[in-house]
């Protein structure tokens, strides 16, 4: 039996389409879980084949409570049925912006507490894609191997394929500027950062953008687009500073609330993003690429297959 023959790749329901793409890249079958839902809302899961002694790989976003719990159930099920190893890849981590609690606030830092729930289900390995904060990597007692998968090379290749020759990368705030600087070094292009202040949970003010964008295409880069407010504000500041066009890139296309309508009316001409978030966006404004090639490489390297 080859090492690949010992691998069973499954996914929670929200990550099933991406799971098929990863399996195709790895040249292994994708194993569909058996699902049922009872009238009272309880959910039934079963592995369709024995997994004792197998290397179980679970792909699972945790973008909502249902998917988060389902991922924990799959890990726990793998332990119950004596999988040889359990490797988890989380394309998008829900609550990832809530990794801190302000002193005296009594708020729950769910980015940390929910990630601990995943670790306490006892997987052997957990990989995350383009985290908002690496603090969650350390939310365990050292018994789980973790890794942070950066999509920089994929992003750089996607930007190259746009055919643009005169562009500048823009970070929507100074906190993300190191990541944007790394991308700029791969693309050998200039970069800058906007001034942004947050004054409420989903509300920000973007002050100004450097004149380095003048006469160029500005590509605003962020880890995720949630409501779109700060990226649209940054786009307007770029145009005010003389940019001839504004595009955007974000790994995780969350697009919550009225985000789609905002972008349809806004100044951004094109949005690049991955299929890490379920129900990837379609339409003239969006150019979506798959992270399946990257995830398949990570899994193969980890399992040495």
Rounded distance between C-alpha atoms, residue 123 and residue 111, angstroms: 18
Of the candidates 67, 61, 63, 35, the residue with the CA atom closest to the CA atom of residue 48: 35
pLDDT of the residue at 196? 56
pLDDT of the residue at 283? 77
Contact partners, residue 170, CB within 8 Å, separation at least 6: 180, 191, 192, 193, 194, 209, 213, 218, 219, 220, 221, 234, 238
pLDDT of the residue at 208? 58
3-state SS class at 129: strand
pLDDT of the residue at 284? 83
Backbone angles phi, psi at 68, to 5 degrees: -60, -50
Domains of the chain: 4-149+293-303 (3.40.50.2020), 152-274 (3.40.50.2020)
Rounded distance between C-alpha atoms, residue 243 and residue 136, angstroms: 37
pLDDT of the residue at 41? 92
pLDDT in tens, the chain (305 residues): 578 999 999 999 999 999 999 999 999 999 999 999 999 999 999 999 999 999 999 999 999 999 999 999 999 999 999 999 999 999 999 999 898 888 999 999 999 999 999 999 999 999 999 999 898 998 887 889 999 999 999 999 999 999 999 999 999 887 888 999 999 999 999 999 887 555 444 455 555 577 889 999 999 999 999 999 889 999 999 999 999 999 999 999 999 999 999 999 999 999 999 999 998 777 789 999 999 999 999 999 999 99
Contact indicator for 55, 6 with CB cutoff of 8 Å: yes
Per-residue tokens: 40: 């009272």
Of the candidates 34, 9, 14, 44, the residue with the CA atom closest to the CA atom of residue 276: 14
Residue matched to tokens 């894609």: 129
pLDDT of the residue at 15? 98
Whole-structure pTM value? 0.92
Rounded distance between C-alpha atoms, residue 169 and residue 158, angstroms: 13
Cβ of 143: how many Cβ atoms within 10 Å? Answer: 10
3-state SS class at 242: coil
Give residue-wise pLDDT tens across range 125-161.
Answer: 999 999 998 989 988 878 899 999 999 999 999 999 9
Rounded distance between C-alpha atoms, residue 85 and residue 77, angstroms: 12
pLDDT of the residue at 59? 98
Rounded distance between C-alpha atoms, residue 163 and residue 216, angstroms: 14
């Amino acid at each position: 039996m080859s090492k690949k023959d010992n691998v069973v790749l499954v996914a929670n329901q929200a990550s099933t389409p991406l799971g098929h793409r990863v399996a195709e890249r790895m040249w292994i079958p994708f194993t569909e879980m058996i699902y049922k839902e009872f009238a009272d809302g309880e959910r039934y899961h079963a592995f369709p084949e024995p997994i004792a002694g197998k290397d179980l790989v679970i792909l699972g976003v945790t973008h909502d409570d249902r998917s988060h719990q389902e991922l924990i159930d799959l890990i726990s099920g793998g332990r119950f049925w004596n999988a040889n190893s359990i490797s988890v890849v989380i394309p998008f981590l829900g609550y990832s912006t809530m990794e801190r609690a302000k002193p005296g606030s009594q708020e729950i830092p769910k980015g940390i507490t929910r990630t601990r729930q995943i670790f306490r289900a006892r997987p052997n390995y957990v990989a995350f894609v383009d985290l908002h904060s690496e603090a969650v990597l350390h939310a365990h007692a050292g018994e789980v191997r973790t890794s942070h998968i950066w999509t920089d090379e994929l992003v750089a290749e996607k930007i190259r394929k746009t055919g643009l020759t005169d562009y500048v990368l823009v970070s929507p705030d100074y906190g993300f500027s190191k990541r944007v600087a790394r991308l700029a070094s791969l693309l050998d292009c200039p970069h800058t950062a906007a001034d942004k202040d947050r004054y409420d949970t989903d509300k920000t003010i973007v002050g100004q953008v450097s004149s380095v964008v003048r006469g160029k295409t500005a590509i605003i880069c962020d880890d995720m687009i949630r409501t779109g407010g700060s990226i649209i504000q940054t786009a307007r500041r770029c145009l005010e500073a003389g940019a001839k066009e504004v595009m955007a890139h974000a790994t995780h296309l969350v697009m919550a609330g009225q985000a789609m309508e905002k972008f349809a009316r806004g100044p951004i001409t094109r949005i690049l993003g991955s299929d890490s978030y379920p129900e990837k966006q379609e339409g003239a404004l969006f150019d979506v690429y798959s992270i399946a090639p990257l995830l398949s490489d990570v899994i193969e390297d980890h399992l040495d297959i």
